[in-house]
């Protein structure tokens, strides 16, 4: 029964993390220690991503320029504009940092495991899905902060210290993982369960620390039922635009059906695995938690929606 409500086990983990941060947020002298643990978890997350993403498959997949170019254009172009539109539409009704979270959502890269799994379940081009996820996430480490700075105006100004943190916490560990592939990738692939648990723990820690700071700063005092309803409504509209838009965009590019399915999930899904660490890097802790609210809601909703869409697409393939 629970698997029908939450097709991905990470959804209840995220819900539990938010509940824990709301009831038992990190306070006082424990904050620096928690932030240190969060930073270490983020470094480990990006190091493992670097170890996992195969360079040879990425280089081979780039040859499918129409699909990969379309995924990049939709993920960082069209979705960024959708996010900007959602920010502008909700700004009169929500706190500024919460509305800014919709723009932040729009500039994030796609998921890795869930987009590939959904594409496989739907009868998409699995090899191209792996490559698309790799390219989008690799591009996102650099492009997402730059896009946010360009579209958010003064609210998105990135200090020199933030740039150094992005390089030190996100980019350098990823490069180190790429360099260590020769020795570590066989072990990582042989222990997928363990490394997936490490991934999810790192993301949960980053979300917990960021949301704790927001709770201490009074996030639940600032948000009422009406504002939470607006966030959920805006996310529902974004989901319709993103999944519907990616499917139509694939048709306009005249992609083969398996490639069109790959573009659907690679383009429409957004990654909390990049979002939580990036928010912790770009914003003060109290602000990061508020900015993360839209992507947290979107991430959980996209997993549930994808789990319903993928089997339907696979059945249509058989007709």
Task: Answer for the pair 274, 141: CB distance below 8 angstroms, yes or no.
Answer: yes
Identify which of 168, 142, 157, 185 has the alpha carbon closest to the alpha carbon of residue 53: 185
Q: Show the domain range for 76.
A: 2-318
Q: What is the pTM of this model?
A: 0.76
Identify which of 268, 250, 258, 255 has the alpha carbon closest to the alpha carbon of residue 128: 258
C-alpha 315/C-alpha 319 separation (Å) is 7
C-alpha 152/C-alpha 146 separation (Å) is 10
C-alpha 285/C-alpha 212 separation (Å) is 8
Task: Answer for the pair 112, 137: CB distance below 8 angstroms, yes or no.
Answer: yes
C-alpha 25/C-alpha 64 separation (Å) is 47
CA distances from residue 149 to 89, 138, 225, 245, 255 in whole angstroms, order as listed: 19, 18, 31, 25, 32
187 Cβ contact list (under 8 Å, min separation 6) = none
Q: Which two tokens stand for residue 285?
A: 């802790």
Task: Answer for the pair 295, 104: CB distance below 8 angstroms, yes or no.
Answer: yes
Count helices and strands in the chain by DSSP H and E runs: 18, 0
Number of domains in the chain: 1
Q: pLDDT in tens for each of the 319 residues of the chain?
A: 444 544 556 667 777 888 888 888 888 788 788 878 877 877 887 787 778 766 666 566 567 788 889 999 999 999 999 999 999 999 999 988 899 999 999 999 887 667 777 787 788 887 777 777 777 877 887 888 888 888 876 555 555 565 666 667 767 887 888 788 888 888 888 887 777 777 778 777 877 877 787 778 677 777 778 888 999 999 999 999 999 999 999 999 988 888 899 899 888 988 877 787 788 778 887 788 888 889 888 888 887 788 788 888 888 877 6
Length of the chain as a residue count: 319
Residue 260, domain CATH:
1.20.1530.20
Q: Which two tokens stand for residue 190?
A: 């042989």
């Amino acid at each position: 029964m629970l698997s029908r409500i939450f097709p991905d086990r990470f959804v209840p983990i995220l819900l539990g993390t938010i509940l824990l941060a709301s009831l038992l947020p990190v306070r006082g002298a424990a904050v620096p220690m928690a932030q240190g643990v969060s930073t270490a978890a983020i470094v480990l997350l990006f190091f493992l991503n670097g170890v996992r993403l195969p360079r040879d498959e990425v280089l081979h997949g780039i040859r499918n320029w129409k699909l990969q170019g379309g995924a990049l254009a939709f993920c960082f172009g069209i979705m960024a504009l959708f996010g900007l539109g959602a920010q502008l539409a909700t700004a009169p009704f929500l706190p500024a940092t919460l509305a800014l979270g919709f723009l932040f959502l729009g500039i994030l890269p796609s998921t890795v495991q869930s987009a590939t799994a959904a594409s496989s379940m739907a009868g998409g081009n699995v090899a191209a899905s792996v490559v698309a996820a790799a390219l989008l996430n690799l591009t996102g480490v650099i492009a997402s902060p730059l896009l946010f700075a360009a579209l958010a105006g003064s609210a998105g100004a990135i200090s020199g210290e933030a740039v150094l943190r992005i390089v030190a916490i996100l980019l350098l560990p990823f490069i180190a993982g790429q360099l260590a592939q020769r020795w570590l990738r066989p072990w990582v692939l042989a222990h997928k369960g363990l490394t997936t648990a490490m991934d999810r723990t790192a993301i949960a820690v980053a979300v917990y620390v960021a949301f704790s700071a927001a709770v201490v700063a009074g996030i639940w005092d600032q948000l009422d039922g009406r504002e939470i309803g607006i966030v959920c409504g805006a996310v529902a509209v974004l989901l319709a635009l993103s999944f519907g838009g990616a499917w139509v965009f694939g048709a306009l590019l005249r992609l083969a059906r398996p490639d069109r399915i790959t573009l659907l999930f690679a383009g429409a899904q957004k990654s909390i695995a990049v979002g939580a660490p990036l928010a912790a890097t770009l914003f003060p802790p109290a602000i990061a938690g508020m900015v993360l609210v839209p992507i947290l809601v979107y991430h959980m909703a996209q997993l549930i929606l994808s789990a319903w869409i993928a089997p339907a697409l696979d059945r249509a393939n058989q007709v």
